Amino acid sequence: MNQQNAPNPGPLPLLIKICGITRLEDGLVALEAGADWLGFIRWPRSARYLPLDLLTELIDNLKSRAPRPFEAVGGYVNETRETIEREAAQAGLSRIQLHGDETLSFARALSRPALKALRIRDAGSVRAADDFEGLDLLADAFDPALPGGTGLCYDYAMLRDLTARRRVLIAGGLTAETVGGVIRALRPWGVDVSSGVESAPGVKDPVKVREFINAARQAAKEQ
């Protein structure tokens, strides 16, 4: 059983996650620009999904060529614990991001640290964080058809109290133009982006990646 993280201890250096990595060049650009975590989608219906053998090869190549240390985060939707553990061990995943109906006990039983994704549409969905006490969180936009990676925006201000007391990655519709304002307003633990830095699903735009990370870092310095 893994040791879960404590509630938000106060201002920390901003964590930046670039999600939906499918290509070596995209991961390297993100790391060179200053990303801390890279996300890899493990939901087969996603355009950003890779078969396990290709994912393993990609992460191995990234680790051997990375200009800086990083964590590889696997995003799952209602997958079995056995599958998650097997894939994490084979591919070298550092953390697990849960986007389905997983429970707190399920997350705590994993051998790697887990984040629980909240699909935000109203105050009730924010209060769902209380069901996952002690877990790190990711706040994303609600979409009835997709469990994450929608690129949709929402009222980020609803998260103000949550980011003050919990470690939360803010996701959902962020771009280089909007991320600074969200960081200044909420002072979150971190931010997460996928479609906002892409030229096509699963294909990152290097200019957008660099601009996003630069804007996020600049906003964090102003806190």
CA 205 to chain centre: 18
Q: How many angstroms separate the CA atoms of 52 and 196, rounded? A: 25
Indicate the Cα dihedral angle 74, 146, 106, 48, nearest 10°: -10
Query: Residue 118 carries which DSSP code?
Result: E
The burial class, CB within 10 Å (0-12 / 13-18 / 19+), for 4 is middle
Tell me which of 26, 36, 140, 192 is the catalytic residue.
140
Q: What separation in angstroms does the CA of 130 have from each of 58, 120, 210?
A: 36, 14, 35
Structure tokens at 184: 């200044």
Tell me which of 19, 36, 136, 192 is the catalytic residue.
19
Whether 60 is a known active-site residue: answer no
Q: How many angstroms separate the CA atoms of 70 and 52, rounded? A: 20
Whether 153 is a known active-site residue: answer no
Residue with tokens 């990646």: 209
Length of the chain: 223
**Catalytic residue ranges:** 19, 140
